[in-house]
Chains A and B, each alone.
Chain A
C-alpha cells in the first residue's frame, strides 16, 4: 500500500510538469491553431532563467588568499558574491532562494520570448500546413538548445533547493503508516502545489474575466468574434505570451528536481504532445487531466511488480495509451466532438 501511495505521489509531481507544459501547448493550439514544437524549448528556457538568476546572485568580487594555493600552486583566488558582501547572511539566503526568485526574471523574459516568437516567426505560418509549422518550430527548438549549449555547456547545472524546503517529508505517519514508510521530497510537494495554483489561476483567468471569455469565444469561433469588432489577433498573441510564461515557470520550479541542461526541453516535448492528444487537442481541462493521468500511469508502470509481469512496460505505457485513445476516441478524453475525428 505504501508503495502504491509513493507511486501516486510520483505521478502527481510528474503530472504537474506534464499538465503545465500541455496547458501551454493547448492554449497555443486552441487559439492560434499552431502545432508548436518549440514548446519544450520554452520549458528549457524557463529552467535556464533559474540558472541565470543563480549566476546573477553569485556575481562575485575576487580577492587573493595568500595563505592558500590553487591547483597550479598559485595564490588562491577567492570569489565572494556581492550579495554576501553587502547583505551578509541574508545574501547567502538570497542565493539559496535563487529558484523562486527566478520567477521574477522568468515572467518578463518569457513574455518577451513568447510574443517575439509569435510576432516574429510563427504568425507567418498561420495559413501554412501543420507540417510547415512543425518543421519551423522544431527548427526553432534546435536553435534554442544549441544557443543554450554554446553558452552554458552540455552538463546539467544543479540548482539549489531553498533551505526551508530541503529534505523529505514523512507523509506516511499522517496516514497511519510506519515511520519512514512513505517519505517524499518536500520540494516535489511544493512543485505540485505551485502547479495547482498556476493551472487554477489560468483557468480562473480564462473562465471568469472578460478577456478570458473573449479568448474562449475566439477559440470556438474566431471569425464571428472578429466580425464583432474585437481584435482577436492581439488577444491571441497575448495568449501565446501567457502560454510561454506558464511553461517557463514550470521550467523554473522544476530545476531543483532535475538539473537543467540544454536537452531538457526535448525530453518533455514528445511526452507533452502525447498528453495533449490523449487529453483532446484544444481542450484545456483535457490537457491537465491527461497530464496527471499519464504521470500516474508512467509511475505505476515502473513498479518492479508490474515490470515482472510486463517487462519494458514503463518505457511504452504513454505511447500505448495514446494508441488506444487514438483508436477508440480520436478526439481525446475531453476533446470537442469533431476535432481530430474527420
Chain B
C-alpha cells in the first residue's frame, strides 16, 4: 500500500494549476465582454422600464406604445416616423450596428425599489444594454444610479426634477425631458404679462423630490417678477381629498394658487380648488388664478373642464406643426388611434437618440455612447434645435407654455400652446445653485 505524500514542489504545482483553472472563466469572460451585456448575436436588447401598474399606469402604457413604435422604425417597419425628419441620418431602418433591435419590458409600479428590481432583472437576466423609461423623478434617480453601477446606459423617460441632472446626475444617464428650472424660466414671463407684478402666491406641493424641485423653481421665478409667497404647504403624495389643504388658501390673502402636483394629485387638487370657488374669487383686487407648472394631456383629460384657462408648461404637444411632430403624430395616431402624450414623445426620442449614438459610435459600449451623446446637437425630433449638454447630460431646447383650451374640439384637444420659450431663456449654467452637489463621474462600461 503506497502512502499519499505531498512535497513543497507538489503543493506549488497544484496551487498554480488550481489558480489558473479558477481564473480561466474570468479571463475568457473579460476577453469576450468588453462591457456589460455586449451583444454577441444578431439582436441587441433594450430594456423598457415603465409603470405598467400603479398611479402612472396610463402614462406608462403610452410610453410603451412609443417604445414599440420606435423599435419598429429602427428595424425598418412602419412609415419610419421621426427617422425621416431627424437631422442625423446615420440610422437607415436596418437596426443598429447591423443588429436587429429587440426589447424587454419591466414594471416600475412607480416605486423606486420595484423599478430598480425590474431594471436589475432586465440587465442581468435579459441582457439589456440600455434601460429607459419611468414616469417619476424618484424612480428615474433610483434607476439611473443602478445603471451607473451596472455599466449600462440609462435614457430617462418622464422625469422633471432638477435633481435628475443636478445633484443626482450620472455619467451613464441622459435626460431628454425638461426640468422644473426650465418650467419656471418659461412660465415666469408669461405669468407676469398675463397677471402682472403684484400678486401673492400660495403653493401646494407634492411632498417628494419632484414637488420640492418644482416649488423651488416656481418660487424663484415668481418672486423675481415681484410676487410674494404667502405659504408653501407640502401635501402627502396621493392625498386624494385636498380640502383641508385648500381651505387655508381661501383666507391666506393669496390671489394665486400654484399646484406643484402631478398626475392623480393634480387632477384632484385642481378639481377641488375649482369646486371651492377659487376661480370665481377676487382677492386684493385681482381675479384669483390657478397655475399648474407641469401639464400633461393625460392629466388634462382627468381634470376635464377645470383646466380651462390655466397656464402650465409641457415638454411637447401633439398639436405642434413642425415636420418631426407631424411625422410622429401620424405614425402613432395611425397605429393606435389617438395622439401621443408628451411622455410617449420623450420616450420615442430617447430610443432614437440612443440608437443614433450607438450607430455613430459604432459600438454599444456605454463609454462610446456617452462620447457620442455629449455635446450632440440635433433637430427634427419635434422640439426644434436641441443640445445634449456634455456637462450634465441635460437636453436644452425650447419649452412650451400651454393653457387649458376654452373650447376644445375633442377629448384630446385640451391644451393650446401659447408660447414657445426659446432655448436661451431656459438655459442655465452647469454650476447653477439648484443643480449643485452632484458629480457626473466617469462613464462605467461595466463587465
Contacts and interface: CB of A to CB of B under 8 A. Distances in A.
Interface in B315-350: 318-319, 329-330, 333-334, 338-339
B14 interface: no
Interface stretch (B148-156, B296-304, B394-402): B296-304
B343 to A, nearest CB: 12
Interface in A298-330: 298-299, 302-304, 307, 314-315
Interface stretch (B33-41, B176-184, B274-282, B379-387): B274-282
A237 interface: no
Contacts of B272: 185, 257-258
Interface in B251-285: 251, 264, 267-268, 271-272, 275-277, 280-281
B264 A155 contact: yes
B412 A71 contact: yes
Given A3-B248, A6-B250, A10-B247, A187 B275 contact: yes
Given A153-B58, A161-B275, A259 B280 contact: no
Contacts of B410: 70-71, 76
A168 B247 contact: no
B303 A158 contact: yes
B329 A158 contact: no
B295 interface: no
A192 interface: no
B108 to A, nearest CB: 13
B268 A302 contact: no
B302 A168 contact: no
B334 A72 contact: yes
B55 A72 contact: no
Contact of A158 (B236, B241, B248, B302): B302
Contact of A155 (B281, B301, B409): B301
Interface string A150-192: 0001111110010000011000000000001101110110000
A158 B244 contact: no
A14 B302 contact: no
Contacts of A263: 55, 238, 264
B240 to A, nearest CB: 5
A68 B245 CA distance: 43
A137 interface: no
B114 interface: no
A118 interface: no
B211 to A, nearest CB: 15
Interface residues of A, number: 46
Contacts, number: 121
A275 to B, nearest CB: 15
Contacts of A183: 250, 276-277, 281
B244 A304 contact: no
A255 to B, nearest CB: 11
A167 B409 CA distance: 25
A10 B268 CA distance: 15
A163 B280 CA distance: 16
A257 B339 CA distance: 29
Given A3-B251, A185-B275, A304 B231 contact: yes
B56 interface: yes
Nearest to B306: A158
A185 B276 contact: yes
Contacts of A261: 264
Interface string B158-179: 0000000000000000000000
Contact of B238 (A71, A187, A267): A267
A259 B242 CA distance: 12
A104 B155 CA distance: 50
Contacts of A14: 241, 243-244
A34 B267 CA distance: 35
B333 A71 contact: yes
B54 interface: yes
A130 interface: no
Given A71-B329, A158-B271, A158-B303, A258 B240 contact: yes
B302 A155 contact: yes
Among A72, A76, A156, max chain B CB count under 10 A is at: A156
A7 interface: yes
B57 interface: yes
Contacts of A3: 247-248, 251
B233 interface: yes
A259 B277 contact: no
B267 A168 contact: no
Contact of B248 (A70, A168, A303): A303
A184 B268 contact: no
Given A3-B247, A71-B412, A153-B58, A259 B276 contact: no
A71 B318 contact: yes
B244 A168 contact: no
Contact of A259 (B231, B267, B409, B413): B267
Contacts of B319: 71
A149 interface: yes
A156 B302 contact: yes
Contacts of B56: 154
Given A154-B53, A158-B303, A188-B243, 8 more contacts: A14-B241, A155-B58, A155-B302, A156-B267, A156-B268, A157-B302, A168-B275, A314-B244
24 contacts: A3-B247, A71-B339, A72-B334, A153-B58, A154-B54, A154-B55, A154-B57, A154-B58, A155-B299, A156-B268, A180-B250, A183-B250, A187-B275, A188-B243, A256-B275, A258-B272, A259-B271, A263-B55, A267-B238, A298-B244, A299-B247, A302-B245, A302-B248, A304-B233
Closest 10 pairs (CB-CB, A-B) = A168-B277, A154-B57, A302-B244, A158-B304, A6-B247, A185-B275, A299-B244, A155-B58, A156-B302, A10-B243
